[in-house]
Chains A and B, each alone.
Chain A
Amino acid sequence: MNKQIPDTIRDKHPGFADVQVGSSGELREKAQAHCLKNAHRTFEQGIQCVQVNSMNALVSLQDTVMVIHSPLGCSGCASFGAIDRLNVYKHHRGRDNAPDSHVISTALGEKEVILGGEKRLHETIDQAIKRYNPKIVFILASCASSIIGDDIDAVAEQKEKEYKAKGKDIIFAPVHCEGFKSRNHATGYDLALATLQNYVIRDAHPPKQKGLINLFATHSLSWADQQEMKRMLNAIGLDANILPYNATYEDIMKIPAAEYNISVCQIFADEYIKFLSEKYGTPYAVTNMPIGTRSTNRWLRAIAALAGKEEEAEAFIKAESDAVREEVARIKRKTDGLRACLTAGTGRGFAAATLIGDYGMKLLCMHTPYYDEAYIDDFKRLEELHGTDFIVNIADMQPYEQVNLLKKYKPDVFIGMSNWVSRLGIPSFHILDSKRPTFGYRGVLYLGRKIEDAIDNNNFNKNLSNYSKNAYREEWYKKDAFSYLQLPEEN
């Protein structure tokens, strides 16, 4: 089959790095001179794989079955995590009884790894169809199935013919998301979106729908945040088609019908949006995640410029900003000048770093999974707020470096996943929240109150630090946090 979108990996982006460290100014200057190179961590902790994000992108589509062609372990994040996350969404939507998504593992064993697993894949697909008669069967590759050379494309084609002969039009959509494919797990989303275009949308060319805007968003957004974005877009006269998480088959087929494309942040679906612009002539904007006043203004203005809705946007921004101004000012009197460290996904991290600027806080260090030349402007904007000296640690988590740095910096507050930070006794909170919006102007207040709460009552972290220690040796804290980073030679 001739694929409209070939598989690509983000590691090939200009200036891509997932292992680096330096002050923001230093890294940015190198990136601007096209000489930012990846370093090497001689010691690493667990990193997410692309398969997990491909699963997350596709698992919520109804009338589909996801066949995970792998040993049993590769269905962990789908069987336990993704379906459970969807249940949280359903609960927030008041739809507790909506059907579960269907995930079947081919359960590869030693025999299949030696003799090949395609026979098992055929049997599993037959079960999927017998059980649920789906519109689409997704076939996800894994490390094991890929190394042994199982041809999931060929099986998909055979199955399509076989079922067509039985009078059934079923889409068989392979996703080449083996875990070792890319160092950037956002690639898993690209692969999933490419599969939707290549196998589901194909050559569909529906007429444009007035005012329809595709909003590409990750699974890590809460239902509340999806609703808040919808509300903001409605306010400027646009109707949002949110994809791919929580979308229906019909929503997917509407992708080419949209007048505009926008993503929740600058590093999600950006490549697919460019493809849509080339194939369907749909204009798009690349902007940041709407967290914090500055970032929300920027996000909304970028969309308004695209759709010629500048006046509506300015009126909305004014009304919403006015509504929260007094409370933001009240919180800011408490938070002004506090020193913060931040750990988040790249897009969320950029936005959260502007939010703490809204509250007059100073950024000391930021842990973020990726760098590439496309983010230069984002770092410039952060430097306007926080100066050029804050440390940027390019790392997919790596808590051993985080705890080391935090012990030395002793920030007033830590923002991000705080499993290990709580044990240090440092006030902390997470910017992810499933129940209330963290996005938009309401989110500014909600997150501001979270900062205030973390500072006003840190008793839990303080007490915990007396009883629970992190899994790192005392000697480690005396060393430089980046002792295990081998920097590339400079040219």
Chain B
Amino acid sequence: MEKCIERPRSLCSLHGALDVIGNIYRAIPILHASPGCSMQASSRTNLYYLGGYHGLPSSNAYEKEVVFGGTQRLRETIKGSLEIMDGDYYAVLTGCSMGINGDDVDSVVKEFEASPYPIASIDTAGFRGDTYTGYNMALLATVKKLAKKTKTDSRLVNIYGQPPSSDITLRGDLEEITRLLARIGVKANTFFIRRDGIEQLKNSGNAALNINLSPWLAKNVDTYYKETFGIETLRFNGWPVGPKDTANFLRTVAERLDLDSKLVDKVIHEEELYVYEYLDSLFGNFERHRFILVGECAKALGLARFLVNVHGHIPLAIIFTDSVPNQYQDSIREEVQKLECPRKAEVYFENDVWEIEQIAQQYDGRATLFMGSSYEKKLAQKLGSHYAITSNPCLDKEILNRSHIGTHGCISLVEDLYNHF
């Protein structure tokens, strides 16, 4: 990390890895870490199968293991996990203290090769990087461990590129993208949340195509699928949000999979009508906003396209909070330039809560709508803007099956823009 960060909204590489493994139903993360990692690094992730962080197997390495090494402790922890925890896939994740003291984790994990269950070993010591680093590492390790190819299914796609906890409407979004693809006859492996997540990962080698929703994440996974199974990756600049985006998304996928274009056109037309029925019923209340948007690029780009290209708002500034490496920033800037409005949004890459406040204050008096995370709620009030929560972290609302993407999701988004009291 280049600098200090005030009130981080993404955490360490262990967090990113827990986010991947913990969101796969019946996958069991095993921590080789000091106490506290189970609680801190699982903040805002979904460990519901385990019943929360208390259920997470951990070696709880204390001073003794830090000083004398923790491999014996790890051995008994893995053994107990396999005997007690009811999983189909296990992943040993390393925390800082056990990453620094030089335990040979891979060798210990290898001792369990005869186990009927696949076990991955992932060096996710917190200082190796941030949530996104951990996401890339754990997703690749998991795909390597589980994915097999028997026969290509020409109607099957893998979807990834969205770290689960970074998407505040994760379940709804995965449901919506699955629904949309199903309408054109395509089955989607989304891996996370679904109770058949592990089956989906196993079958993912049979997919005809990968859909990567991030402009920059999981390139290592794209490469692995290509080299191992010959699966190409179609990369999108974020989720499809709204009817235009959805039409473009479905057409692009359909072309690549050589689907019946008549069916696709029919589905697109029906989905568009669905959205405009709702927008039409609201048009008397339409209020055109000048907006500031804070969030991760996979979500923020899609939201911006819907807000500008479909719903007719004016973009003032977009602040991308995922730690987008320099080499990808220009392509994201270009995507913002393409928004269909002569006034172009200013683009920033920043995740520090104080720095974001400094940026936003330049727009004081001009912004009428502020979209961001719970961290930005008071800031929006300070600027006299309406506020809607669209990005991580969401601390003051329960979101279950709500979505902000696709055609059904953009309607919920519009509700959120109006229900701002």
Q: A residues touching B (Cβ–Cβ < 8 Å)? A: 42-52, 67, 70-77, 79-81, 83-84, 87, 97, 100, 102-110, 112-113, 120, 123-124, 127, 131, 142-144, 147-148, 179-181, 183, 185, 397-400, 417, 419-420, 423, 469-476, 484
Contacts and interface: CB of A to CB of B under 8 A. Distances in A.
Nearest to A125: B4
Interface stretch (B32-40, B170-178, B179-187): B32-40
Contacts of B378: 97, 100
Given A47-B38, A49-B35, A71-B127, A107 B8 contact: yes
Interface in B37-90: 37-44, 49-63, 65-66, 76-77, 79-81, 83-87
Contact of B49 (A47, A83, A180, A471): A471
Contacts of A84: 374, 395-396
A108 B11 CA distance: 11
B128 A470 contact: no
Contacts of B252: none
Contact of B54 (A51, A142, A180, A399): A399
A147 B85 contact: no
Interface residues of B, number: 72
A115 to B, nearest CB: 12
A399 B47 CA distance: 14
Contact of A71 (B43, B76, B96): B96
Contact of A419 (B38, B54, B79, B101): B54
Contacts of B100: 113, 144, 147-148
A127 B353 CA distance: 13
10 contacts: A47-B36, A51-B40, A52-B36, A73-B40, A106-B4, A107-B8, A123-B4, A124-B4, A400-B85, A419-B55
A124 B38 CA distance: 26
Contacts of A469: 86
A419 B51 contact: yes
A74 B40 contact: yes
Contacts of A75: 7-8, 11, 40
A155 B63 CA distance: 24
A98 B369 CA distance: 22
A49 B34 contact: yes
B310 to A, nearest CB: 33
A109 B66 contact: no
A306 B6 CA distance: 45
Nearest to B85: A471
Interface of B: 1, 3-12, 14-15, 26, 28, 31, 34-44, 49-63, 65-66, 76-77, 79-81, 83-87, 95-97, 100-101, 126-131, 354, 374, 378, 381, 393, 395-396
A43 B55 contact: no
Contacts of B60: 44, 46-47
A121 to B, nearest CB: 9
Contacts, number: 238
Contact of A420 (B51, B53, B65): B51
A45 B39 contact: no
A76 B15 CA distance: 9
A60 to B, nearest CB: 15
B70 to A, nearest CB: 10
Most chain A Cβ neighbours within 10 Å, of B8, B11, B51, B66: B51
A417 B40 CA distance: 18
Contact of B55 (A45, A74, A183): A45
A72 B41 CA distance: 9
Most chain A Cβ neighbours within 10 Å, of B56, B66, B127: B127
B28 A471 contact: yes
A417 B127 contact: no
Contacts of B81: 43
Nearest to A50: B36
Given A46-B39, A72-B5, A185-B35, A113 B127 contact: yes
Most chain B Cβ neighbours within 10 Å, of A113, A144, A476: A144
A472 B86 contact: yes
Most chain B Cβ neighbours within 10 Å, of A46, A105, A179, A472: A46
Nearest to A143: B97
Given A77-B39, A100-B378, A180-B66, A131 B354 contact: yes
A47 B40 CA distance: 10
Contacts of B129: 109-110
Given A71-B96, A120-B4, A124-B4, A473 B127 contact: no
Counting from the closest, the 7 A-B pairs by CB-CB distance are A49-B36, A46-B38, A43-B80, A73-B12, A76-B43, A107-B1, A71-B126
A148 B101 CA distance: 10
Contacts of B128: 109-110
Contact of B96 (A44, A144, A470): A144
Most chain B Cβ neighbours within 10 Å, of A73, A108, A185, A400: A73
Most chain B Cβ neighbours within 10 Å, of A81, A108, A471: A471
A74 B85 CA distance: 26
A113 B95 CA distance: 13
Given A143-B97, A471-B85, A473-B83, A83 B7 contact: yes
Contacts of A97: 378, 381
Nearest to A107: B1
Contacts of B87: 471
A46 B8 contact: no
A179 B34 contact: yes
B362 to A, nearest CB: 17
A191 B100 CA distance: 25
Contacts of A83: 7
A142 B57 contact: no
A399 B131 CA distance: 27
B1 A72 contact: yes
Contacts of A419: 51-52, 54-55
Nearest to A423: B51
A98 to B, nearest CB: 10
A123 B59 CA distance: 34
Given A44-B59, A148-B100, A472 B85 contact: yes
B34 A143 contact: yes
